[in-house]
Chain A
Amino acid sequence: MKKGHEHKEADIVSDIKVEHNRVPKLLVAVFYVVAIWAIGYAIFMPGKLAVEPAAAPQENKGELIFEGTCLSCHATGAAPDLSGVAERMTEEDIKNVIKNGRNTMPAIGHIYTEKEIDLVYEYLKDYR
């Protein structure tokens, strides 16, 4: 590219002066980077993220499920308080109620795995 002054004269369009400055070099570089990225992306990248369903369960999963699901009834007076429930019922009974429901409590076994229900029970054992 030639340097400097060889600008075309400015045009006047609708009484507005329009100059013919060159595109800044930095901007041209950005254009190239974006264009190269686009081609690379089109060829090499997957269309969407594919994360395996449920990565390693978090340590506090039992607590999270308990607070998010159970407490919406069991902390509001809509259902009995669960403090010390593990002393009043056997492990098997508790898991059974979680899986199949009882009275007004819905069955929620089908949305959680065995492992998760175990974690909820573990959490309930120490729940006061």
Chain B
Amino acid sequence: MERKPSAVLIVALILWTFGVAGTVILPLFDQEINSATASGELRNYPEDSAEARGREIYIQNGCQTCHTQFVRALPADTNQNLGPVSQGGDYKYDLPHLLGSNRTGPDLMWVGLKYNEDWQRQHLIDPQSTSPGTIMPSFDYLSDQELDDLVAYLMSLKPTEERLEEYKKELNNPNN
């Protein structure tokens, strides 16, 4: 082995393949993350709808670098009122995925529940006017059309009524 580069390479390749099989290939067959939930279906936007265009604008402007869409069953998330815990199936149509990795700004998984269109628009154009002291930059350079689309996308980030009811029932459960 210490004399044969090809041997090193072959074993290195085999070990790498195991890792791919375990963490990339096998999950392809897991039903839990491959079948859409009802709330996941809501994110299956028709092509060229305002929401679909807005989603593109969200990506192009790098919103995902500061905002996650990823609610965990943990105190950090539940105490921030982030809404129902997200499930694999919620992301079935979230392509490319916008899970994110850093909360410089708050989580946006269900942000459609929290504000109305006017607030969202105002907040994008002049963040300081709605959230004084925020470090979000303004997106006043977007055109009116782009802002409309982006707001439409943000407002669409909601769970179904049933999911929300279920969530609130759990919250009101006196055992918790």
Contacts and interface: CB of A to CB of B under 8 A. Distances in A.
Interface of A: 48-56, 58, 65, 72-73, 75-76, 78, 101, 104, 106-108, 110-115
Nearest to B116: A106
B131 to A, nearest CB: 5
Contacts of B170: 52-54
Nearest to B175: A52
Contact of A51 (B75, B114, B130, B167): B75
B73 A111 contact: no
B132 A76 contact: yes
A46 to B, nearest CB: 12
Contact of B81 (A104, A111, A114): A111
B130 A53 contact: no
A54 B168 CA distance: 10
Given A53-B78, A101-B116, A106-B119, A113 B129 contact: no
Given A76-B132, A78-B130, A113 B171 contact: yes
Interface residues of B, number: 25
12 contacts: A48-B73, A49-B73, A52-B170, A53-B170, A54-B171, A55-B79, A55-B176, A72-B131, A76-B132, A106-B114, A107-B116, A111-B81
B78 A51 contact: yes
Nearest to B122: A78
Interface string B117-128: 011000000000
B176 A53 contact: yes
Given A55-B75, A111-B83, A112-B81, 7 more contacts: A51-B74, A52-B170, A54-B79, A72-B131, A76-B130, A111-B81, A113-B172
8 A-B pairs closest in CB distance: A106-B116, A54-B78, A113-B171, A53-B78, A111-B113, A113-B172, A51-B73, A53-B170
Contacts of B73: 48-53
Nearest to B74: A51
Nearest to A11: B2
